[in-house]
A = this chain, B = another copy of it.
Amino acid sequence: MRTHRLPPLRSASLSAALRCPQGVVDVVRDFDPRATTLFPGRGQEDARAQADLVRPILDDLQGRLRAQGVDDPHAQRVLLVLQGMDTSGKGGVVRHAIAMMDPEGVRVHAFKAPTPVEREHDFLWRVRRALPEPGIIGVFDRSHYEDVLVQRVEHMASPDEIERRYGAINDFEREVAASGTRVVKCFLNISRAEQKRRLAQRLDPSGAKYWKYDPGDLDVRAKWDEYMAAYGLALQRCNQDEAPWFVIPSDHRWYRNWAVARVLAETLSSMNLTWPPARFDVARERERVANS
């Protein structure tokens, strides 16, 4: 088995540095969206080179994970949850970090407003159905956290129901972890000012980004403080060791993409992923191939 060394970091682990601490969280006060924590280069000009260092590691580890899943229904899995305000870059992370890996080993699921059928079930019903299969890295672009974020801010569920959901989420995520899935939750933290710049970019005259713009996004933006408070509560109430939150500084796109790729690589790296052993007599099969 080959071993992997991750490219040198300025300290031991990006995951440790970006892990959301336990206890009360004030998103705006506690975390700097412009930080470039532990980035081993100078800045954007080194982003491509740093991505090129992470890519083969991520690709190889994901290959091992997937190989283990081929014949083993109990093989490990990974669930990466991406949450963040509009324009924070959930889609950008998929496009730049998740795309480093083999599409056959990855399942991306974008959660929209619940359909009528989904609304007939408990809020976790549709989430369970989208959990990754053995050996697969599942990526949630939005997730069950919307049910304690938008639903809290917009009063779409009662305060009691929202309280119940924090507990239900913790139970659910513990159960998912216990069944062999590493849960990695990333809050893509952008500033209010950066969101404004990005919304304006979506309206640039080329028209190539009109489809990403929804006038309703500004209504959400108008409740920025309430959303930050709801995020703070979600980060505080649902931050178990089995399903930790990472706060990804996301005002710099290049840093955000690198950081998520790197946190994912560190997670995979800690899973002791070996290539599965042969389920056949290798010497005999070599001979059969030679004679075929």
A residues lining the B interface (CB < 8 Å): 1-2, 63, 67-68, 70-71, 91, 94-95, 98-99, 102-104, 106, 108, 110, 139, 141, 196, 199-200, 203, 206-208, 210-213, 215, 218, 221-222, 275-280, 282, 285-286, 288-290, 292
DSSP class of A's interface residues: helix, strand, loop or mixed?
helix
Residues of B within 8 A of A211 (CB): 67-68, 70-71, 275-276
Copies in the complex: 2
Q: How far is the CB of A197 from the nearest CB of chain B, in Å? A: 9
* B141 engages A104 (CB within 8 Å): yes
Residues of B within 8 A of A104 (CB): 91, 94-95, 108, 110, 141
Query: Which residue of the partner chain B has the closest CB to A102?
Result: B95
Residues of B within 8 A of A206 (CB): 2, 275
* B103 engages A196 (CB within 8 Å): no
Residues of B within 8 A of A70 (CB): 211
**Known contacts A104-B108, A292-B221; A275 and B207 CB within 8 A of each other:** yes
* A286 engages B103 (CB within 8 Å): no
Residues of B within 8 A of A276 (CB): 210-211
Q: How far is the CB of A177 from the nearest CB of chain B, in Å? A: 24
Bound-state Cα–Cα, A229 to B199, Å: 57
* B213 engages A278 (CB within 8 Å): yes
* A213 engages B141 (CB within 8 Å): no
Bound-state Cα–Cα, A157 to B205, Å: 58
Residues of B within 8 A of A94 (CB): 102-104
Q: How far is the CB of A50 from the nearest CB of chain B, in Å? A: 20
* B210 engages A282 (CB within 8 Å): yes
Bound-state Cα–Cα, A278 to B207, Å: 8
* A289 engages B203 (CB within 8 Å): yes
Closest 4 CB pairs of A and B: A67-B211, A210-B278, A199-B289, A95-B102
Residues of B within 8 A of A99 (CB): 99, 102-103
